[in-house]
Amino acid sequence: MELQLGGSALSSAAKSKLRDCGNLTRDDFDGGPVSIDEIEPGLFLGTQFLLLCNLTAATHMETLRSFKITHVLTLDSVPLPQHIVEASFLTTKYVQIADMTREDILQHLEACVDFIVAALEHGGNVLVHCYFGVSRSSSAVIAYIMKRHNLDYQPAYELVKNKRRFVQPNAGFVAQLKLFRRMGYKIDHSFQRYTMHRLRLAGEQMRKAKILPQSFHNVVRPDPDIARENPEPSVYRCRRCRRILASKSHVLEHRPRNMTMSANHDTTQGDAMPMTAACSSSEPRLLEQLANRMRKSSLGSPSHDSTGASNQCRSLLFVEPIAWMPRIMLNTQGRLYCPKCEQKLGNFSWINACQCPCGETMTPAFYLIPSKVELSKAVQNVQTTV
């Protein structure tokens, strides 16, 4: 089922305003051709036809009534007009988001799906829309279809596209929808790919603002050396002063791209090259043996992806940003020093890629040089971490 309406894209008053001051608002637009498509019974996907000039808004309120729309989900950079939000027959939800590949739509998908489910379960009809009904709103509908029918992204996308031919989430949204599927249609904070997704978004903000915004402070993990009730069983310590630096859950695993390079790289180098070049480090035999044991014991850990944790590279120890790391919220890159003995431990960069000797790259990158740290077990840590 499809409804199409026509209209001039720009009113005469808006054209006059554009000539006078060059500034336009959404109310200056008549909206142009608009459409509504029924994807599944009770679920409609459409354009931002509600943000029209006041002369035609009442007409489109009647359109809502004619389709028996009871719930409206808006994904846009501006909210609905107040008279729509306050309509007695509507329940509305607004998600502020721009149609840009770097936007984090993933954090909203679960709530959007829940809104759609609640509307349909109560016998309502729900309209999901953005300005053009192409990328943002279609992403929310695809997420719902994926979860409802237990589908991967591509079949869910094709199902929606068969109902509305011009849907096309941008490339960033597509990647996030695929990640949404891999996490089981919910946010899993222990899932490493989700961690990297959030870190990359934080890196983009650091590139622009040179400071970590408050909304991304949660990507910085608590200091594992601070007393806690249930310490993790395995931790990395400073080799010189034995200060706890990272827990197993802080480690960001990666598989070697070049096994030969990883196996034969110089194990005597104690420092690392700049973040834009290959980052080298030493790898003591004892640490490698302990790391192998840790990997075997953690194969079933929820902190590891389903791709498996075996054969992980230990040329560099990439970790999440941790609270003891000095000034990481105020600097885009720098060196990491032990907070106790001030030994250099590694480097970090929010904005530049670090290439491991194995050939894999990490962005952003926070790494510890394996020769500067040692792996320790829980029995040895109880007195200092409990």
Residues taking part in catalysis: 130
Residue 20 burial by CB count (10 A; 0-12/13-18/19+): exposed, middle or buried?
A: exposed
Q: Are 337 and 328 in contact (CB under 8 A)?
A: no
Structure tokens at 257: 């791209």
Tokens of 228: 């806690």
Handedness of CA 158, 159, 160, 164 (dihedral sign): positive
What the block records as the tokens of 175 is 């990647």
> Under DSSP, is residue 144 helix (H, G, I), strand (E, B) or coil?
helix
For residues 334 and 348, the answer to whether their CB atoms sit within 8 Å is yes
Cβ neighbours of residue 267 closer than 8 Å, sequence gap 6 or more: 282, 283, 284
CA distance 251 to 345: 15
Best CA proximity match to 369, nearest among 245, 260, 277, 259: 245
* Residue from 130, 161, 349, 368 nearest 270 by CA: 368
